[in-house]
Amino acid sequence: MSTNSHEPTGTTRTDTADVQVVRAFLDALVAGDPDAAQQYLHQDIVWHNVSLPKIRGLGSVMRVLRGMSRPGVGFDVRLHHIAGDGTAVLTERTDVLIYKRLRSEFWVCGTFEMKDGKIAVWRDYFSSRDFLWGTLKGILRAF
């Protein structure tokens, strides 16, 4: 996972436990290891890509995550900002969806709501226009 640090030189970052969980979860997704990612998810997780239907429950979320780790399919993330506030972790990032030679890159703002040290709600906001533009650029690069 690529991270862009915006910290002044000489400062150190101290993540909360919830921020560490979200970082580890995203790292597992980037590694293509849904089984490692699963340990960070609450049994009653709700995954919501805003404007799309919600995916409810660990089994349903894991089916999607396992599909993202099939041969020729992948995920990468460039994390720009991450912050914890109470039981929420906020992220600003660039997600990369990979299918064979196609790489679709688009901006995402994510909210992870925590319960018992695990991700109970994963809500991502993104522009459909940015997603389509990223996919079009990816198609052009693939050819």
Which domains occur in the chain, in start order? 16-142 (3.10.450.50)
Task: Identify the active-site residue in 27, 76, 95, 130.
Answer: 95
Does the pLDDT at position 134 exceed 70?
no
What's the average model confidence in pLDDT over 119-129? 90
Q: pLDDT (tens digit, 9 = 90+) per residue, 85-106?
A: 999 999 999 999 888 888 888 8
What is the model's pLDDT at position 124? Answer: 96
Reading the block at residue 129, the tokens are: 């226009």
Active-site residue 95, yes or no? yes
Q: Which DSSP helix (H) or strand (E) runs through 132? A: helix 128-142
Active-site residue 76, yes or no? no
Least-confidence region, from 31-35, 112-116, 133-137: 133-137
Cβ burial of 92 (10 Å; 0-12, 13-18, 19+) is middle
Q: What does pLDDT average to over the chain? A: 87
Q: pLDDT (tens digit, 9 = 90+) per residue, 8-58?
A: 444 456 789 999 999 999 999 999 999 999 999 999 999 999 988 999 999
Where are any strands of DSSP class E within 36-141?
41-49, 55-56, 73-85, 88-99, 102-115, 118-125
Does the pLDDT at position 4 exceed 80?
no
Which residues partner with 74 through β-bridges?
A: 98
